[in-house]
Amino acid sequence: MLHIGPGTKTQPKAFRNNGRERAPDLHGGGENLRFCDYMMLWYAPQTFLTAMVYDGVFMRFPRLRGGVIESGAGWVPDFLRQLDLANKSFGRTDPYLKQLDMTPSEYIRRAVKFTPFPGEDVGHMIGDAGADLFLFSSDYPHPEGTKDPFGRFERSMEGIDEVAKDKFYRLNYEQMMGF
């Protein structure tokens, strides 16, 4: 599992040397997530998952499963496209890419699930990348989970069928956990 935490990439400290007071964090304090840090949440998971694909870990361990938790998920559809584009671009000359028996995105689709934040457009993500990648989380009792995560997710899934919603709320978690 990958999860936001102390090792999460945040805005470089040098960028804070801008002549401005540091803004309060998401909760109004001083030690948690800020806008500029939020915009970098997905770099660490992308770097790690790229290494897992490139180094053949997902190929050698086809039953390996995991999740990226509290790093948002709106970035996932484009990440999958970029993995495959890089594979297509470099695969002709890179001996390690030539050894892969699936496309990079297929490894991610088979092995990894992602939790969007309440407020992200899950319907758009499902429409763009499919219903098998994303799973519900609320981060209860933390405030960033909101008071109504179900309602916020539901409002973003207008036009999404009940099968896809069941995958989001239940089945994708069960698959990730090997139930």
Backbone angles phi, psi at 74, to 5 degrees: -60, -25
Confidence of residue 118 (pLDDT cuts 50, 70, 90): confident
46-98 tens-digit pLDDT = 999 999 999 999 999 999 999 999 889 999 999 999 999 999 999 999 999 99
pTM: 0.89
Question: What is the three-class DSSP state of 100?
Answer: coil
Asked which of 7-21, 68-82, 107-121, 126-140 is least confident by mean pLDDT, the reply is 7-21
Note the pLDDT of residue 29: 58
pLDDT more than 70, % of the chain: 91
Q: Say whether domain 1-6+63-179 belongs to CATH 3.40.50.150.
A: no
Note the pLDDT of residue 20: 87
4-21 tens-digit pLDDT = 766 666 778 888 888 888
Backbone angles phi, psi at 56, to 5 degrees: 80, 15
Confirm if 112 and 64 have CB atoms less than 8 A apart: no
CB atoms within 10 A of CB 5: 9
* Average pLDDT estimate for 155-169: 95
Six-digit token pair at 49?
Answer: 């998952």
